Structure 1
Amino acid sequence: MTGILPAVVKPELEGGNLILVVVVALIALGALGMAAMFRSQVLAAGEGTDNMKTIALAVQEGANAYLTRQFRTLAIFAAIAFFALLVLPADDTTVRIFRSVFFVVGAGFSAAVGYLGMNLAVRANLRVAAAAETTGREPAMTIGLRTGAMVGMLTVGLGLLGASLVVLFFQDEAPDVLEGFGFGAALLAMFMRVGGGIFTKAADVGADLVGKVEQGIPEDDPRNAATIADNVGDNVGDCAGMAADLFESYAVTLVAALILGSQAFGDKGLVFPLLIPAIGALTAVAGVYLTKPKAGENGLATINKSFYLSSGIAAIASVVLSYLYLPSSFAEFTNIATDLAGAEGDPRFIAASAVVIGIVMSAGILALTGYYTGTEYRPVKDVGKTSLTGPATVILSGLSVGFESAVYTTLVIGAAVFGAYLLGGAALTVSLFAVALAGCGLLTTVGVIVAMDTFGPVSDNAQGIAEMSGDVSPEGAQILTELDAVGNTTKAITKGIAIATAVLAATALFGSYATSVFESLAEANVRPDEAYLLDFSVFNPAVIVGVLLGAAVVFLFSGLAINAVARAAGAVVMEVRRQFREIPGIMEGTGRPEYGKVVDIVTKDSLRELVTPGILAVLAPIAVGFGLGATALAGFLAGAIGTGTLMAVFLANAGGAWDNAKKLVEDGHHGGKGSAAHEATIIGDTVGDPFKDTAGPAINPLIKVMNLVSLLIASAVVSLSVGQDQNDVLRVVIALVAVAIIAVAVIISKRREVTISDDGDNTGSSSFTPHAPDPHNV
């Protein structure tokens, strides 16, 4: 049994490889410098009227207040995880300590990307609104794209910097330390995605249900007390949360590639996965500068052109790099596992093909998601048409779009994963590394993808500021409406690509988990009669049970997130109704709504509600692994990856289709604003809000967090299950404690009621009072 896996010789860097890693670190610093330059370009633009500035300041204060409170809450989880990592087994004490240290670094980088991206987005929104009024569509769009480019460069720069520094300082031990870095990034991103998603959609749903449906006033009317919270939510959810999500996708994919690369390609396997995204950093800059908005050109076409141009350059450069850097046969590699000596094929071809597969997959998902969520294509047009027969048919048609699109998107992702896997032939480690390299290929597009994503909330906020201020002409308002519709589609596209990165990273991490289990079993001298522990066959009952549990966790996680939005939105509805009822003159524009109370409601509720999904993500793998064993945990991960992929795509695309169907009607189709069709699409959009902006995107970090937790506990699970250190009592106790904590958290969450009363006292005192817009401008 000890001969199942050969001994792995850990690689060390020297000479040219060391220099190349230093070059990657310098490219990372260059990307951060570009981020600073793009930021200065955005801030140099005009800010518009005084009323626009007042509204933007209210959004800035609300977003900063929320993130400050959120980071204080998350610091508690980070501290617990830091000390938990110190307890888990590692090769030596130094690795154990720095794994925890880089957990903090990964979490800090993820928080920085989210915070700094949000910080610029809330300053760019009024500049986009001002540009649309004074200089036209092209300058307004350029400001939005430069804002996104800043966040994209920040994501790429910090991700590359963190990974390259770990490789430089730890070399042969880098894969173990990187587990902490990736876990920190993923854990914090998941909390930010869940919390921000609950915040933004509770405010949005509450604002729509009372303002647009009940009172018949526009979406961003300053008479609606939830408008400031809605605009704050766009930034803490769609900007800060999604930026952190994409950063952790970047970091975790790199972690998986470096872990498997060191086993498959030795020292070159620690360098090559860094070189590919470094190329992506350079091509992202090329995409920003080579593609500019043109008069009369559809905004989405402009953004897609930037994506395809930078992706094509990256693909060509990656192929050239593969043939220049890698040897022509596996026999020429040094410091690799001995079972690769007989691997067949040309490593250059395998690596280049895998990277190109990842790039082509991202282009395919962009096209598919654009088709199913874009206003110019049939699916959204069909959803819009169903508004003529009421909200029920709108919801049914949107669900249909979500289900159908999930199938085709999953086929594209599955084809990419399996295609990359087949490149490795009979060598399992090479096959898994090829899958990870496909993820690295997708990383070459992340700079542009993040820019596309950030463009969404910036354009959405710009439209809100224009409407609330009343200082924008009908022509300027039409420009902003167009940019907002483009932003809805780009947000949907980035969610699709983020899902793809999650699947590739999770598949590669799953391979790393299996390798870790096999190595631990070999070290434990497993007896022949215990060989069933190695049986990961699908007909093994342990695997089947694990698959079911993994799928169940995705469903429970989604349900908790959506229910959290429903509860918080209910409190918002009651508060906004109270203000319309009790504050004199709101509808006439002579009374000032209490915006701060709504911001306070969604802040408190989102921070309270993010705890249970977080506990579920971290403790579910622990409960399954220690309670049912390593084989069941393998099935658990497979079930979570499969179900999570379909569920995330379904939620994101159904929500995107409903949102743009509403935009279609608001543009004058099927009766336009104020019609029965418009009200039907508003209801559909309200249902889709927590789908596409809360539960759907949060599944991405969920499956990566669970894979990383499984990877971290793999050796402990095996050591307590078999061998000299076997301790069934301790193993079962750990599992039962994890199950008990999950059960208590879920029960508390389910029993939690919205504080709603007829007198409208839903929040107590408000701890946040923003600079509010003047309702006299309605």
Structure 2
Amino acid sequence: MVELGSTSLTIVGVIAALGVAALLVAVVLRRQVLAAGEGTSSMREIARAVQEGASAYLSRQFRTLAIFAVVVCGLLFLLPGDSGIKLGRSLFFLVGAVFSASIGFLGMWLATRANVRVAAAASEPGGRAEGARIAFRTGGVVGMSVVGLGLVGAASVVLIYRGDAPSVLEGFGFGAALLAMFMRVGGGIFTKAADVGADLVGKVEQGIPEDDPRNAATIADNVGDNVGDCAGMAADLFESYAVTLVAALILGKAAFGEQGLVFPLVVTAVGALVAVLGVFITRVRGSESGLTAINRGFYIAALVGVLLAAVAAFVYLPSTFADLTGGTVGLETHDGDPRLIASAAVAIGVVLAGIILWVTGYFTGTTSKPTLHVAKTTLTGAATVVLSGIGVGLESAVYTAGIIAAAICGVFLIAGGNVALALFLIALAGCGLLTTVGVIVAMDTFGPVSDNAQGIAEMSGDVTPEGAQILTDLDAVGNTTKAVTKGIAIATAVLAATALFGSYADAVQNTLASVTGGPANALVESMLQYDIISPMTLVGVILGGATVFLFSGLAIDAVTRAAGAIVFEVRRQFRDNPGIMTGEVRPEYGKVVDICTRDSLRELATPGLLAAFAPIAVGFGLGVGPLAGFLAGAIGSGVLMAVFLANSGGAWDNAKKIVEDGNFGGKGSDAHAAAVIGDTVGDPFKDTAGPAINPLIKVMNLVAVLIAPAVVTISVGDGASQAGRLAIATAAALIAFGAVIASRLRAARVDREGGLEQEAAQALAAKSSVPADTSEIDEADESDSALTR
């Protein structure tokens, strides 16, 4: 076991103190945000409604997830291993889950208070600069909190468990990733159900603006921006931070020994300094675009991060591999300089983030050719809008995946072909990418805060025309920054998951070395092989890719069902209360919020069970070789699917903005209706299914790492039990796919019991001026489609 010397322990202690300092900076930024004016009484009233809805939703969600977290904590303790490590892993699983939930709640809490301040600032002199400053510093609070809690959590584990820290950190990362996935899926269903319902009925059917107060779904839409984009993405980026650190420390211990266990923490501590710099230097100058200011701040912070990480490498690491302190795996004779190699790996990660920022901005920005092309297709109808957006998303996914692959190849080359070293350097590149995580979180939060501010301004009617245009521009910038951060998040998922292959292989090899006796037969022996030409390994690859597709389909279909319920409810309110359109009757906003809350929480269990039990079913059923293939298939299809979904949605959203700015007919035109359809298709793409793939990949990887020793133990050696192995695999498969089937059956039952058939029949009757008859629903294409969904 690697022991930490006094110098290393001192450095880790300083890193923990830097984590605390980052949290204090977050407190300072929070005070600055809350010191801004809150606008008119009408603005404050709308903001309070959004605050109450978001807090109520997250409180109910956390109560639901607490039970699940406790159960998983108990299951982790049942895994084989040293009792002290198992206890620490289980406890820090809860710590990771609590930290992830806390980051999500903080993101929601502050965003729901910053939105009204951005709306109020827009009408003041210098409104563009001040609104952008408030929105970005709101994200800065969350970003500094991500950095602070990540450093405090990881450094605490290293200080307590020393050389055993990587095993305990597996639980910490797993807890963070699992909660983030739940928050991503639940919040994504909530926000996009409300958004789609509001757009389809309000914009397309009634011809009223997006955030018109007469639309009963507007409050739910604004609530959703916060529980989905702010809370979900904040938790997502925290788990990216935690899981990347886990992979780096596990592999660093094997490759660099003591220094490898500490240096990744040093790199991420540099990220705390970079985050402070990035937040404070990002300022809009005069009339320049908010995106220009954000990009400038990001690139300056990234460059400083590379330089500081290089300085840290030359100060802390030795000049030769022979001088590393214990734990090296065949690197003693490597003729490279660890300081140069580590610095290059960090630089590759930072450059990767910068390139993805540029590429994503190109495919989703309002002034770029791809998005302008999508906007132009609105002239020929909704079908061509959907087709062009899909084309943009598919093409952008190839370029992004190619860039990530090139980065991995570059790291492999500087490792000189040594696989163990290459895997550690890939994890180190992920740490380098995440030196900018504070700025990345600020960029992401900028989007929903600006979106909410525009909604509050439109609902209150208390913003000047110039202020309204400023908020529209900031919202368009936010659409691009959200797409960028999703691209960066999926890049961290790929780097972390690729690096975790090393810890997975290490867990398998160590367990094989400890068992007595060999495989029972040739079939069991084949289950231990990693060769891609093995049919069983290839089966694992196919199943891994299929799981990503199934997960994405479930998420999108959940939004479809929930959005259908919102559409019927908003239509009912317009139909039953004609005074809503004249402004004499206030819509029942609470009913729509309740529907979104109910439907999103109802769908939480299925993706979680699929992510946790699919690897268990494959591992125990087919073996550790096919399980490695399963992870490879999930990573490969996951990166392409996630980028495709995120960039298609971003392009559709900004194409709609282009039309609403007066191009191709402007608001109220046929082109606008087509653009809205494209945007509603993209909503669950970019804000539900796409972002949730990021934590999904890491959850499945961590589950595989955790169960690998158990799979080997029950498969080979004197303690092997083939009947027990197959029983576990069967039970896991029944749980995973049973949850999917139960979700389908529950959805059909809810549709029947929720009165959707009657609502559809009444809508059909009102349209055709004949009495409602539910038996005629199947004859109507539109209603039949809605009910089938």
TM-score category (smaller protein): over 0.9
Contact 1:141 1:483 (8 Å CA) reproduced: yes
Task: Please tell me the residue identity of whatever aligns with 1:51.
Answer: S
Contact 2:527 2:622 (8 Å CA) reproduced: no
Say yes or no: does 1:66 pair with 2:65. Answer: no
Structure 1 residue 667 displacement after superposition: 0.6
State the alpha-carbon separation in 1 of the partners of residues 594 and 527 from structure 2.
51
Q: How many pairs align?
A: 752
State the alpha-carbon separation in 2 of the partners of residues 513 and 632 from structure 1.
13
Contact 2:610 2:737 (8 Å CA) reproduced: no
Say yes or no: does 1:128 pair with 2:118. Answer: yes
Structure 1 residue 290 displacement after superposition: 2.3
Deviations along 1:360-399, one digit per CA (max 9) or x if unpaired, are 0000000000000000100000000000000000000000
Alignment map for 1:312-711 (pairs within 5 Å):
312-337=303-328, 339-525=330-516, 527=518, 532-711=526-705
Structure 1 residue 525 displacement after superposition: 4.2
Q: Which residue is equivalent to 2:239?
A: 248
Q: Which residue is equivalent to 1:757?
A: 756
1:739 pairs, out of 728, 733, 740, with 733
State the alpha-carbon separation in 2 of the partners of residues 593 and 58 from structure 1.
13
Contact 1:331 1:341 (8 Å CA) reproduced: yes
2:143 pairs, out of 134, 144, 152, with 152
Contact 1:571 1:756 (8 Å CA) reproduced: no
Task: Please tell me the residue identity of whatever aligns with 2:72.
Answer: A
Say yes or no: does 1:43 pair with 2:42. Answer: no
Structure 1 residue 422 displacement after superposition: 2.5
Task: Please tell me the residue identity of whatever aligns with 2:628.
Answer: A
Deviations along 1:81-125, one digit per CA (max 9) or x if unpaired, are 0000000112x2111101000000000000000001110000000
Contact 2:274 2:301 (8 Å CA) reproduced: yes
CA separation of 1:103/1:313 partners in 2, compared to 1, >3 Å: closer, same or farther?
A: same
Structure 1 residue 423 displacement after superposition: 2.2
Q: Which residue is equivalent to 1:209?
A: 200
Contact 1:543 1:632 (8 Å CA) reproduced: yes
CA separation of 1:545/1:338 partners in 2, compared to 1, >3 Å: closer, same or farther?
A: closer
Structure 1 residue 583 displacement after superposition: 2.1
Deviations along 1:9-38, one digit per CA (max 9) or x if unpaired, are x21112211111011001100100011111
CA separation of 1:431/1:399 partners in 2, compared to 1, >3 Å: closer, same or farther?
A: same
Q: Taking CA–CA contacts closer than 8 Å with sequence separation of 6 or more, which of the two structures ends up with the larger relative contact order? A: 1
Contact 1:391 1:680 (8 Å CA) reproduced: yes
Secondary structure of the residue that 1:340 maps to in structure 2? coil
Structure 1 residue 527 displacement after superposition: 3.6
Q: CA RMSD in A?
A: 1.3
Structure 1 residue 601 displacement after superposition: 0.3
2:715 pairs, out of 721, 727, 735, with 721
State the alpha-carbon separation in 2 of the partners of residues 527 and 742 from structure 1.
31
Q: Which residue is equivalent to 1:769?
A: none
Deviations along 1:17-73, one digit per CA (max 9) or x if unpaired, are 111101100110010001111111000000000000000000000000000000011
Contact 1:42 1:147 (8 Å CA) reproduced: yes
State the alpha-carbon separation in 1 of the partners of residues 329 and 194 from structure 2.
57
Structure 1 residue 743 displacement after superposition: 2.2
Contact 1:536 1:634 (8 Å CA) reproduced: yes
State the alpha-carbon separation in 2 of the partners of residues 439 and 520 from structure 1.
28
Contact 1:187 1:705 (8 Å CA) reproduced: yes
Secondary structure of the residue that 2:330 maps to in structure 1? helix
CA separation of 1:518/1:41 partners in 2, compared to 1, >3 Å: closer, same or farther?
A: same
Structure 1 residue 407 displacement after superposition: 0.3
Task: Please tell me the residue identity of whatever aligns with 1:93.
Answer: S
State the alpha-carbon separation in 2 of the partners of residues 52 and 145 from structure 1.
20
Contact 2:23 2:149 (8 Å CA) reproduced: yes
CA separation of 1:595/1:364 partners in 2, compared to 1, >3 Å: closer, same or farther?
A: same
State the alpha-carbon separation in 1 of the partners of residues 116 and 630 from structure 2.
46
Unpaired stretches in structure 2, ≥5 consecutive residues: 762-789
Q: Which residue is equivalent to 1:772?
A: none
Deviations along 1:218-276, one digit per CA (max 9) or x if unpaired, are 00011010000000000000000010000000000001000111111111111100010
Structure 1 residue 206 displacement after superposition: 0.5
Task: Please tell me the residue identity of whatever aligns with 1:734.
Answer: I
Contact 1:343 1:427 (8 Å CA) reproduced: no
State the alpha-carbon separation in 1 of the partners of residues 381 and 440 from structure 2.
35
Say yes or no: does 1:300 pair with 2:299. Answer: no
Contact 1:287 1:310 (8 Å CA) reproduced: yes
Q: Which residue is equivalent to 1:730?
A: 724
Q: Which residue is equivalent to 2:106?
A: 116
Structure 1 residue 759 displacement after superposition: 5.1
Secondary structure of the residue that 1:465 maps to in structure 2? helix
Contact 1:202 1:566 (8 Å CA) reproduced: yes
Deviations along 1:145-170, one digit per CA (max 9) or x if unpaired, are 11010010001110111000000111
Contact 1:575 1:761 (8 Å CA) reproduced: no
State the alpha-carbon separation in 2 of the partners of residues 427 and 251 from structure 1.
26
Contact 1:574 1:756 (8 Å CA) reproduced: no
State the alpha-carbon separation in 1 of the partners of residues 684 and 186 from structure 2.
12
Q: Which residue is equivalent to 2:775?
A: none
Contact 1:343 1:426 (8 Å CA) reproduced: no
Secondary structure of the residue that 2:283 maps to in structure 1? coil
Structure 1 residue 409 displacement after superposition: 0.3
Contact 2:279 2:442 (8 Å CA) reproduced: no
Say yes or no: does 1:265 pair with 2:256. Answer: yes
Q: What percent identity do the matched residue pairs reach?
A: 65
Structure 1 residue 297 displacement after superposition: 1.1
Task: Please tell me the residue identity of whatever aligns with 2:19.
Answer: A
Q: Which residue is equivalent to 1:773?
A: none
TM-score normalised by L of structure 2: 0.94
Contact 1:194 1:698 (8 Å CA) reproduced: yes
1:141 pairs, out of 101, 125, 132, with 132
State the alpha-carbon separation in 2 of the partners of residues 727 and 343 from structure 1.
42
Contact 2:128 2:287 (8 Å CA) reproduced: no
Unpaired stretches in structure 1, ≥5 consecutive residues: 1-9, 763-778
State the alpha-carbon separation in 1 of the partners of residues 716 and 702 from structure 2.
22
State the alpha-carbon separation in 1 of the partners of residues 250 and 564 from structure 2.
46
Task: Please tell me the residue identity of whatever aligns with 1:120.
Answer: L
Structure 1 residue 521 displacement after superposition: 1.2
Q: Which residue is equivalent to 2:163?
A: 172
State the alpha-carbon separation in 1 of the partners of residues 659 and 310 from structure 2.
46
Contact 1:518 1:534 (8 Å CA) reproduced: no
CA separation of 1:549/1:471 partners in 2, compared to 1, >3 Å: closer, same or farther?
A: same
Task: Please tell me the residue identity of whatever aligns with 1:292.
Answer: R
State the alpha-carbon separation in 1 of the partners of residues 570 and 607 from structure 2.
28
Task: Please tell me the residue identity of whatever aligns with 2:90.
Answer: S
State the alpha-carbon separation in 1 of the partners of residues 113 and 209 from structure 2.
23
State the alpha-carbon separation in 2 of the partners of residues 700 and 690 from structure 1.
15
Q: Which residue is equivalent to 1:770?
A: none
Contact 1:344 1:425 (8 Å CA) reproduced: no
Q: Which residue is equivalent to 2:783?
A: none
Structure 1 residue 686 displacement after superposition: 0.3
State the alpha-carbon separation in 1 of the partners of residues 735 and 605 from structure 2.
12
Structure 1 residue 584 displacement after superposition: 4.0
Contact 1:387 1:394 (8 Å CA) reproduced: yes
Task: Please tell me the residue identity of whatever aligns with 1:78.
Answer: A
State the alpha-carbon separation in 2 of the partners of residues 134 and 424 from structure 1.
55
